[in-house]
Amino acid sequence: MQKSSDLPRKMAEIRLTTERDLQIHRQKVASTVNSLRESLQSIKLKAEETVQHQVKLSKLKDYLRQNEDEMVAVKTRKEAKQHSTVEVLSDVKGRVEKLEKVVLGQQETRDRCRKIISEQLVVLATLEKKSSQAKEQNKDFEEPVCWYNRVLGMRIEGGQGVKFIFNKIDLKNPNKEFSFTIRHDNGIYTLIDCQPHLDGMEEWIQDLNRTNGLYKFVRNMREKFWLTSSDVASHYLTRTDMPSTSITVSDSSLPMRSQNKSQSGQAGMDRPTKKVNHGRPDRPLISSPGSALSFRTSPRFK
């Protein structure tokens, strides 16, 4: 009986113990669930933070990548600039060396120029001395040249060659000009022009190149021009009728007598008055073209 009465009590105790354990387990489960919820919430927050951090990290990576690209570009530009600077410095150095050489060359040139100038000054002084002497000599030649131009009507012009011009040859037209132009090149005389044309010019030029007698050639040319003038024949006829005792010069000089008489007025103005030659035939101032040219010799023909 006692055993049967203890059974409910034990069952009650077991039930109480079981309920108490269940309550404890429920509390633990609830606590665990709450803890899990809190953990999940925390994990969720951390996951969201992680996602945000990943986005930020991606942005930071992009920013770093851009910075790296910019750094590479800056480094490349610096290297290129440095390389260009090195090249410029090398070029400048080369130019400086060249300029130094040029300066040295200019100094040498300056020294040579100074030496040349000093030598040229000495030469110039010598030339000035010779020039003064030549001027003194030219004073002696001015009168013969003026006489040639005034009496014989001869003048010389330059150009492609040397042009000799004569007038006072044709008595009917004293202003008519006769001219010829020759050129002297490499020791050879060449006839460029002759007005009026004369036959036999080639032979005369050959003779001139053979003898180099320019003065004689000019004198002969004036005589040839005189022989081609329009009044030569009439003068020859006039002089042929004169007495032989009055002929005092060669036949080639006879036609020039009347010409010289026509010039005697002008020549008399420039020359001293001669004594009166009583009882003797007048002797012409210029006997012939040849003797006229031989009366005064120009220094340029010597």
**Is residue 181 assigned to a domain?**
yes
pLDDT in tens, 73-132: 999 999 999 989 999 999 999 999 999 999 999 999 999 999 999 999 999 999 888 888
**Is residue 287 assigned to a domain?**
yes
pLDDT of res. 101:
92
**Is residue 170 assigned to a domain?**
yes
pTM over cut 0.85: no
Domain that holds residue 216: 153-271+282-301
> What distances in angstroms separate CA 38 from CA 27, 125, 252, one per listed residue?
16, 123, 159
pLDDT of res. 291:
43
**Is residue 98 assigned to a domain?**
no
**Is residue 74 assigned to a domain?**
no
**Is residue 109 assigned to a domain?**
no
pLDDT in tens, 80-97: 999 899 999 999 999 999
The CATH number that applies at residue 207 is 3.30.457.50
Backbone angles phi, psi at 80, to 5 degrees: -65, -45
Give the residue among 173, 154, 300 at the shortest CA–CA distance from 223.
154
Which tokens belong to 81?
Answer: 């600039």
Q: Read off the pLDDT band of 72 (50, 70, 90).
A: very high
Q: Read off the pLDDT band of 229 (50, 70, 90).
A: confident
Dihedral, CA atoms, 96, 101, 103, 106, nearest 10 degrees? -150
Residue type (1 letter), 278: H
**Is residue 220 assigned to a domain?**
yes
DSSP string for residues in 79-101: HHHHHHHHHHHHHHHHHHHHHHH
pLDDT of res. 259:
41
For the chain, how many structural domains are there in total? 1
How confident is the model over 39-68, as a mean pLDDT? 90
Share of the chain above pLDDT 90, in %: 22
On the question of a cis peptide bond just before residue 196, with omega within 30 degrees of 0, the verdict is yes
**Is residue 297 assigned to a domain?**
yes
Give the residue among 151, 176, 153 at the shortest CA–CA distance from 164.
153
